[in-house]
Amino acid sequence: MPSEQEIAFPFLGSAHLEALARRGHRRTVRAGDVLFAEGDRNFCFYVVIEGEVAIVDHSSGGERLVRMHLPGEFTGDVDMLSGRSALITARVEQDGSLIELDTAELRRVVDEIPDLGETIVKAFLARRSLLISQGFEGVKILGSRFSPDAHRLRDFATRNAIPFRFIDLDSDEQADAMLRQFGISAGETPIVMGRHGEFHKRPSIAAFAACAGLTYSLDADHVYDLVVVGAGPAGLAASVYGASEGLDVLTLEALAAGGQSVTSARIENYLGFPAGISGEELTRNALLQAQRFGARVTVPCEVRSLGIDGGERVVTLVDGSRIRTRCVLVASGVRYRELGVPREEEFNSAGIYFAATNIEARLCRGEEVVVVGAGNSAGQAIVHLAREARHVHVLVRGNDLGASMSRYLVDQVQSIDNVTVHLGSKVTQLDGNGHLRSLRYSTPDGSEKRIDTSSLFLFIGAQANTDWLRGCVALDRNGFVLTGNSLPPEAAEAERWRTAGRKPFLLETSLPGVFAAGDVRSGSVKRCASAVGEGSMSVSFVHACIARPA
């Protein structure tokens, strides 16, 4: 089996080099030529024919050689397809010649020559993993590990594969020196330092994304075939199938691709992965797959409203930008409910968490933690946290752990020695000073007990992310989107449908050309595989709608 280095830096054979030469452009280069530099966007893919190309990193101040590309090797990583700014610099070290392909030409190569495409895509994924593991620092986040704002920045960076270094104000000896250097007080943290020395005090997620090179401008005059709102499993599936079938697809995501699935340490009942797959890996592969086919996925991008202008649907963002499209897929998913107990808001991201990623698991290493909930998300979190925490307490309101949790997860949870399940229990009180320190919970006999903990994880049911749709499409009493046969007669028989000359499609909302898929849809099966199925199925309805516009 090839090593990660061999996967990341393969040498192409003569047949592949000839195929690339026919599809690209020959370029003569001189030592010192910079092919692309850190911060560049839309840079080209290069194959070395003669000479040498150095890949260098300046993230830690000085210059570090990452790789010297020799004849038969090629440049690039996942940013080649994602549209993000480059993290490293490619510089010619020895006179020679290269084959140059732009992004569109590279996508055609990946599509037309499957074995070569597989080699390139696997190399891109492995290179990003190696870059981070070998000390690439990217942006720096300085703050307290107990700070809600610092946690949000770290969570956003982790979910979006932004290389970063966290400098803990409470334990890192460099922290005080850096604060003095910039003349910043501890109360002004967290601060984010960019690759070029710039820094931002307590930045918003949007400002942090811009600092990390994620954001790019959208063309207000362009009309897309399909705008997907939400990049969870349903949205990513629609992006992959839509773009692969020639649709012009833009996917908008408020926080990070993957939705709630990305927080799952291991999904073990997903078809085709007998050993299971992490939500992070599934998301990373699906995102790159969508971008490989040409879908544009932009993060962070929060939607404010949806409307119609003439024959086009208009998606308005919170910054006032208006995006025009022929069809829309609502895949904005759900968010976990809160407990509804005093002081809950005070401890959000300061002891109360709605995901159990590696960041949260490391925060509670060797401590006692509490998980509230009995669904599959709770079960996956329990199994993951038990590997790091000293003990995991599970509070379940009902009297049966298996009422809403898959049997394989129930068996795993019940077999873990450092997990205790408390049935018929609910949280009644939260205590702490700036950060959660303990909680009280009720028991079936009416008494209360206390657990000293700094980490409480909530997985207690979901609310639809549909505030931006109210007054636009029909929703059920709980705010989930009604579609197809579930639409009330007055919505399905409205004048707009008589004008369209047809009935709503299975996944179509009360507004023609607007579809819904995944957890946000009323009556959907709340499972990752079901969301993927609905997202892919929605593309066939989009094609039919475009063929017969309203």
Q: Where are the domains of the chain?
A: 4-133, 139-211, 223-335+462-547, 345-458
HEC string of 395-448 equals EECCCCHHHCCCHHHHHHHHHCCCEEEEECCEEEEEEECCCEEEEEEECCCCCE
Total residue count of the chain as it appears in this document: 550
Parallel, antiparallel, or unpaired for β 296-298 and 303-309? Answer: unpaired
pLDDT(549) > 70: no
The amino acid sitting at 129 is: S
Q: What is the pLDDT of residue 311?
A: 83
Of 358-362, 419-423, 521-525, where does mean pLDDT reach its minimum?
358-362
pLDDT band at 136 (very low <50, low <70, confident <90, very high): confident
Distance of alpha carbon 324 from alpha carbon 514, whole angstroms: 13
pLDDT(391) > 90: yes
Q: What is the pLDDT of residue 396?
A: 96
Q: Which fold has domain 345-458?
A: FAD/NAD(P)-binding domain (3.50.50)
Is residue 509 within 8 A of residue 483, CB to CB? The reply is yes
Higher pLDDT, 541 or 501: 541
Q: What is the pLDDT of residue 196?
A: 66
pLDDT(42) > 80: yes
Helix (H/G/I), strand (E/B), else coil: 439: strand
Is residue 82 within 8 A of residue 291, CB to CB? The reply is yes
When pLDDT is averaged across residues 310-318 and rounded to a whole number, the result is 92
pLDDT band at 524 (very low <50, low <70, confident <90, very high): very high
Is residue 258 within 8 A of residue 159, CB to CB? The reply is yes
pLDDT band at 197 (very low <50, low <70, confident <90, very high): low
What is the dotted CATH code of the domain comprising 4-133? 2.60.120.10
Question: Which has the closest alpha carbon to 225: 208, 215, 238, 212?
Answer: 238
* Token code pair at residue 288: 């790159």
pLDDT band at 315 (very low <50, low <70, confident <90, very high): very high
Distance of alpha carbon 433 from alpha carbon 174, whole angstroms: 26
When pLDDT is averaged across residues 171-180 and rounded to a whole number, the result is 80
In 183-331, alpha helices (H):
205-211, 233-244, 279-292
Distance of alpha carbon 544 from alpha carbon 539, whole angstroms: 9
The distance from CA 101 to its chain's CA centroid, rounded to whole angstroms, is 28
pLDDT band at 140 (very low <50, low <70, confident <90, very high): confident
- Average pLDDT value over all residues in the chain: 91
What is the torsional sign of CA 491, 470, 258, 235? positive
Fold matches, 139-211 and 345-458: no
- pTM of the predicted protein model: 0.87
Question: Which has the closest alpha carbon to 75: 96, 90, 58, 65?
Answer: 90
Distance of alpha carbon 286 from alpha carbon 284, whole angstroms: 6
Angle at 336 between CA 335 and CA 337, to 5 degrees: 120
The backbone torsions φ and ψ at residue 394, rounded to the nearest 5 degrees and listed phi first, read -115, 120
Identify the H or E element spanning 97: strand 89-101
Q: What percent of the chain has pLDDT over 70?
A: 99
Higher pLDDT, 324 or 549: 324
pLDDT band at 286 (very low <50, low <70, confident <90, very high): very high
Which of 76-85, 156-165, 336-345 is most confident?
336-345
Question: Which has the closest alpha carbon to 143: 191, 184, 181?
Answer: 191
Q: What is the pLDDT of residue 212?
A: 80
When pLDDT is averaged across residues 227-252 and rounded to a whole number, the result is 97
Q: What is the pLDDT of residue 139?
A: 85
Q: What is the pLDDT of residue 400?
A: 92
Q: Terminal CA-to-CA distance of the chain, rounded, Å?
A: 54
Identify the H or E element spanning 123: helix 114-133
Helix (H/G/I), strand (E/B), else coil: 459: coil
- The CATH superfamily holding the domain 223-335+462-547 is FAD/NAD(P)-binding domain (3.50.50.60)
Architecture of domain 139-211: 3-Layer(aba) Sandwich (3.40)
